[in-house]
Structure 1
Amino acid sequence: MMIFGPKRGHILFIFETFFKDFGPLFVALIIGAIRGDMSIIYENGAVMVIVLLGPVGRTIQYLCTRYSIDEERLLVQSGWLKKQTLEIPLSTITTVDFSQNILHQIFKAYRLNIDNASNIGDQETKVKMTFGKEDAFAVRELLLAGRRGLDGFNLADEDVIPQPQEGRTVRIKAGDLLLLGALKSKGVFAAELFGIVTTAGAMFNMNMAEWMIEDGIDGLVMRQGITIVLLILIAAVFVLAIICGMIGSFIRYYGFSIADNGQAIKIEYGLLTKKRYTIQKNRISGFAYQQSLFMRLFHQGTLQLFAIGYGDSGGEEASEEPILFPLIREDRVRQEIARILPEMEEKKDYYRTPRGSLHYFFYGFGFFLSVILLGVSVWLSLTKGFCQGLWIIGLLIFAYSVCGRILEYKHAAMYAGDENFSMVNGGFKMNTIFVKTSHMENVESTASVWKARKGITTVMAGYIAPLGSSNMTVKNMPESAFEEARNRLIY
């Protein structure tokens, strides 16, 4: 007998991605208004038709999808020409959380993100549905009340309901959020900026060469040389990345708070898009501490956690990060981890890369590409007048690659203990994971014949976590490090 539904979600589902769906159309209208010529719309008619396919598809999905709940299962029936039925036992549901973007907040609707244990595999059964406030809270209560048996990966006693304990709440200061945006890696921002500019040019038939002539950049190249212009552009992008990063981090993580009641962690944040997660501690597999180059200079980093249903969501929320502390000092990391999971307090001495193994880190496509770019830049500097000094850019790229390999050599480390397992890798961006030994799934050793003779191997480890973060590799470790990890995994 159904105790909820069959029922459609909130009609706002159709418009949840309004800005994403209609963004290109608005940009075209703005450009046309500025130019006083709307021919841009007609010339890119095919693109505009594609833009409208998104809302049409979401409308069909809304009309053809119904949700039902009985005492044992969540039932999702969908499809127009092809009917689909998804049944999820309530006992396997691991997460039921809310999120609200601007439109949700205006119309008092909620986006429910529902995960179950099968999301650790290739068959993803994440369910996203949108309801008004009354239905959203009713669905959440029904799903959580019906969840018995499987909680994450541990079989729970149906007769024992954990009682909340008096805990603590930590709130992240606004200044730390701004600092986070300033210190985060700028490479992704530069790539996204380049993609936006080139995509806009392709979509709206903008001739980049004409832009350069009109703005006088080509003249600047002839007067100052391409090297100076490139350095100016790099510096401009870097400054812009810092400003945009600070604004973006403040908006995205505004009001970030972590509440710990002893049994679960509740995380809330967001200004334009509000998110709320409740994570049972027995579902946490481990933690990751990430540091960009600038973060390391300030002895800061970002602490994330591994738990099915939080982060690595894929689809429309693929950029979601499993953040626990947006910014935290190095000397507080183990302390905060141990407060959440006392078994993670154990620490052993790390295995480090053996002496004489530095050259192995240079055997890779990235380094050889930097050598090629250096050679090309030197050749252009000697043969093309306007490229004089371009070798400086090539030399900087080569030096960056060399420094990155040296840092990889210095950072690579791992240990395996009775309670937890830790691995460290990365060059300019340093990654450290701490995983429960009981949640380790596999370890693998890979080595060439020459490295094997010297007792050097690359160690790959897999552990229970969302698919995008469920493994890590540390290069050129001593064979004894792999043996200890393997023995811990087996026994």
Structure 2
Amino acid sequence: MRTNCGTALPDLRGRPIPMNNWQRQHPAAILVSFFQGLRQLIVSFVVIFIFGSTSGGMRLLYTAGIMLVILTGSLIVSAVSWYRFEFRLIEEELQVKQGLFVRKKRYIRRNRVQSIHINAPVPQRFFGLVEVSIETAGGGDEPEFTLSALPVEKAEQIRGELLYGSEKEEIFAGEISSGMDQALSEPVEEKPRRTWELGFRRLLLAAVTSSGVGIAATFAAALLSQLPQFLPDWLLGIALGWIVQSSLVYIGLFIVTVLLLAWIFTILSTVIKYGQFQVTEQNGELFISKGLIEKKQLTIQQHRINAVRIVQNVLRQPLGYCAVYIESAGGGTKDEDFSTILLPMCKKSQVPELLETMAPDFAFTPEFHPLPRTAVRRYMIKPLIPITAGAAAASYFLPFGWLIWILLVPAALLGYLQYKSAGLALSDRHVFLRWRTLSLEEAFLPRPRIQSVAFTQNPLQRNAGLFSLHMSVLTTVTGKTFSLKHTGDDQKEDVMSWYSYQNGSPNASDIDRAHAETVE
């Protein structure tokens, strides 16, 4: 017997909740939809308020009236949308009817479902509800559809029917991860087997070494670049005079302050996003839960994982840490490049052992075969071209523009490091790619999950006998492609013979086949 906010849930073993009749979501879905629409209207409200507060604009009363009409209309639309949205769950299928004027019917069969997210955003948690997002193969960048306000037991029954169908022996409402239990119910005494938790130490280290500080700094710089148009002329003149008269030390301190604030923002956002992160493996399924404020839970079946990607950014690689992502046919989130993060922070040396539990088909320790020596020039020339062009222009137009020529040295080193990091390995059933832009990345791809293999060759590569390798797997509707540039002709032949096998017998070279060893 499980408890929910101190109240015992009924034992539903053998007695599933009747859901074969058309029904609506919880009425709280009206408020959820209203607040979501309100968030999108904030920019419009700001524009109306600024226009209405100008001397030649509308009076404040009229401005408030327009806002009130918009809010009332949004609330009415949310209520009508809730009333017109109906769903029912039959054997291995979820059916939905929706639409204000044009009535649409949607049918989601179990064999199309790739993953199911059960989230507990803040508004839903006030009512003890959850949000269910269902992703299907080729469903695009967004979930197939979302049920925004459901009781936990109904969400679990939908998940059970669409993931297990007739194979399940029983449906028990409330089988959610401990991360979701903390948000919606009292803790469960039993310990789930094969559980990996991020922990506070790794969470803090992941936040400190996150690569998102560059994005945050860019956002802060963009905000600062728009600041002058909001300042009065007299204040802008004072600010420009200070910048001109100040020494480079003060300007440098200002830049460091911006970067420090961006770093702090990145740390806080990472802690909020991955707080209480937990992965549980049970009966061939992965249950991933995360989030301090908005609780999220994702269920992925192991046999639907199409690829595994290991990422080490420039801060984590010297410390021996990495992040592990999985690629599935349902795709992932935009902020994770449409992948699903499996391990946000772990020791690189522990990855094979952890994958043996979480994704045993990908538990390998590959030994990568380097690219040919003729590829080193291509890797080094590419980062030098934009630096050379920028330095030439800066030297002509700026007094100290010649200092940019110094960047040629780190650019050349980066190109050489990219060459040394790149590699390829083959086993009987898997191909392993490794490359670097700034972060070092590895991809493990099983042959049955590869949708296409292609080699391209530009004129410069043709002279050196080099090729660029492209391999695609099914994730979103467009798929995901992994590329390795400047491979040799021998490596091209090995990959093509390995992929174009007959009767299930690969013809990969013995040398490359030995470069990938399965973890015992």
Q: In the alignment, which residue of structure 1 is the partner of 2:446?
A: 436
Residues 58, 69 of structure 1: alpha-carbon distance in 2 compared, 3 angstrom cutoff: same
Q: Is the 8 A contact 2:287 2:298 kept in 1?
A: yes
Aligned letter for 1:359?
A: R
Question: Any gaps of 5 or more consecutive residues in structure 1?
Answer: 150-157, 383-388
Aligned letter for 1:326?
A: P
Q: Distance in 2 between matches of 1:247 and 1:300?
A: 20
Q: In the alignment, which residue of structure 2 is the partner of 1:282?
A: 303
SS in 1 for 2:216: helix
1:471 and 2:485 aligned: no
SS in 2 for 1:85: strand
Q: Is the 8 A contact 1:95 1:278 kept in 2?
A: yes
Q: In the alignment, which residue of structure 1 is the partner of 2:243?
A: 221
Q: In the alignment, which residue of structure 1 is the partner of 2:203?
A: 177
Between 1:331-340 and 1:270-279, the stretch displaced more is 331-340
1:341 and 2:351 aligned: no
Aligned letter for 2:464?
A: K
Q: Distance in 1 between matches of 2:111 and 2:240?
A: 65
SS in 1 for 2:441: strand
Q: In the alignment, which residue of structure 2 is the partner of 1:253?
A: 274
- TM-score, scaled relative to structure 1: 0.79
Q: Distance in 2 between matches of 1:350 and 1:212?
A: 62
1:75 and 2:95 aligned: yes
Residues 297, 103 of structure 1: alpha-carbon distance in 2 compared, 3 angstrom cutoff: same
Q: Distance in 1 between matches of 2:281 and 2:316?
A: 26
Q: In the alignment, which residue of structure 1 is the partner of 2:112?
A: 92
Residues 378, 239 of structure 1: alpha-carbon distance in 2 compared, 3 angstrom cutoff: same
How far apart are 1:446 and its partner, in Å? 0.7
Aligned letter for 1:244?
A: F
Q: In the alignment, which residue of structure 1 is the partner of 2:124?
A: 104
Q: In the alignment, which residue of structure 2 is the partner of 1:191?
A: 218
Query: 1:256-312 deviations in whole A, cap 9, x for unaligned?
Result: 111122521211111111001122111112211112211222222211111233623
Q: Distance in 2 between matches of 1:403 and 1:250?
A: 33
Q: Is the 8 A contact 1:407 1:428 kept in 2?
A: no
Q: In the alignment, which residue of structure 1 is the partner of 2:509?
A: none
SS in 2 for 1:69: strand
Q: Distance in 1 between matches of 2:67 and 2:250?
A: 36
Query: 1:2-22 deviations in whole A, cap 9, x for unaligned?
Result: 714242452233145367335
How far apart are 1:453 and its partner, in Å? 4.5
CA RMSD, aligned part only? Answer: 4.0
Q: Is the 8 A contact 2:32 2:123 kept in 1?
A: no
SS in 2 for 1:115: strand
How far apart are 1:146 and its partner, in Å? 5.4
Q: In the alignment, which residue of structure 2 is the partner of 1:418?
A: 428
Correspondent of 2:154 among 133, 138, 141? 138
Q: Distance in 2 between matches of 1:6 and 1:355?
A: 65
Q: Distance in 2 between matches of 1:319 and 1:59?
A: 34
1:167 and 2:167 aligned: no
Number of positions where the alignment pairs a residue of Structure 1 with one of Structure 2:
456
1:374 and 2:395 aligned: no
Residues 223, 319 of structure 1: alpha-carbon distance in 2 compared, 3 angstrom cutoff: same
Q: Distance in 1 between matches of 2:162 and 2:294?
A: 29
Between 1:319-328 and 1:441-450, the stretch displaced more is 319-328
SS in 1 for 2:373: coil
Q: In the alignment, which residue of structure 2 is the partner of 1:460?
A: 470
Aligned letter for 1:293?
A: V
Residues 139, 373 of structure 1: alpha-carbon distance in 2 compared, 3 angstrom cutoff: same
Q: Is the 8 A contact 2:129 2:149 kept in 1?
A: yes
Q: Distance in 1 between matches of 2:397 and 2:401?
A: 7
How far apart are 1:462 and its partner, in Å? 0.7
Q: In the alignment, which residue of structure 1 is the partner of 2:183?
A: none
- TM-score, scaled relative to structure 2: 0.75
How far apart are 1:481 and its partner, in Å? 2.1
Query: 1:418-437 deviations in whole A, cap 9, x for unaligned?
Result: 13221112222222111222
Q: Is the 8 A contact 1:415 1:481 kept in 2?
A: no
How far apart are 1:336 and its partner, in Å? 1.8
1:3 and 2:20 aligned: yes
Between 1:189-198 and 1:403-412, the stretch displaced more is 189-198
How far apart are 1:334 and its partner, in Å? 2.4
Residues 470, 144 of structure 1: alpha-carbon distance in 2 compared, 3 angstrom cutoff: same
How far apart are 1:161 and its partner, in Å? 6.9
Q: Distance in 2 between matches of 1:230 and 1:51?
A: 45
SS in 2 for 1:452: helix
1:329 and 2:339 aligned: no
Q: In the alignment, which residue of structure 1 is the partner of 2:13?
A: none
SS in 2 for 1:418: coil
How far apart are 1:117 and its partner, in Å? 3.1
Residues 239, 297 of structure 1: alpha-carbon distance in 2 compared, 3 angstrom cutoff: farther
Query: 1:196-226 deviations in whole A, cap 9, x for unaligned?
Result: 5567x6xxxx61564894595422331246x
Aligned letter for 1:374?
A: A
Residues 361, 82 of structure 1: alpha-carbon distance in 2 compared, 3 angstrom cutoff: farther
How far apart are 1:124 and its partner, in Å? 7.0
Residues 48, 410 of structure 1: alpha-carbon distance in 2 compared, 3 angstrom cutoff: farther
Between 1:284-293 and 1:335-344, the stretch displaced more is 335-344
Q: In the alignment, which residue of structure 2 is the partner of 1:66?
A: 86
How far apart are 1:410 and its partner, in Å? 2.2
Q: In the alignment, which residue of structure 1 is the partner of 2:292?
A: 271
SS in 2 for 1:190: helix
How far apart are 1:456 and its partner, in Å? 1.1
Correspondent of 2:496 among 478, 486, 490? 486
Question: Any gaps of 5 or more consecutive residues in structure 2?
Answer: 1-17, 176-190, 502-520
How far apart are 1:476 and its partner, in Å? 0.6
SS in 2 for 1:294: coil
Q: Distance in 2 between matches of 1:377 and 1:396?
A: 12
Q: Is the 8 A contact 1:2 1:71 kept in 2?
A: no
Q: Is the 8 A contact 1:12 1:130 kept in 2?
A: no
Between 1:256-265 and 1:88-97, the stretch displaced more is 88-97
Correspondent of 1:17 among 10, 24, 36? 36
Q: In the alignment, which residue of structure 1 is the partner of 2:312?
A: 291
How far apart are 1:475 and its partner, in Å? 0.8
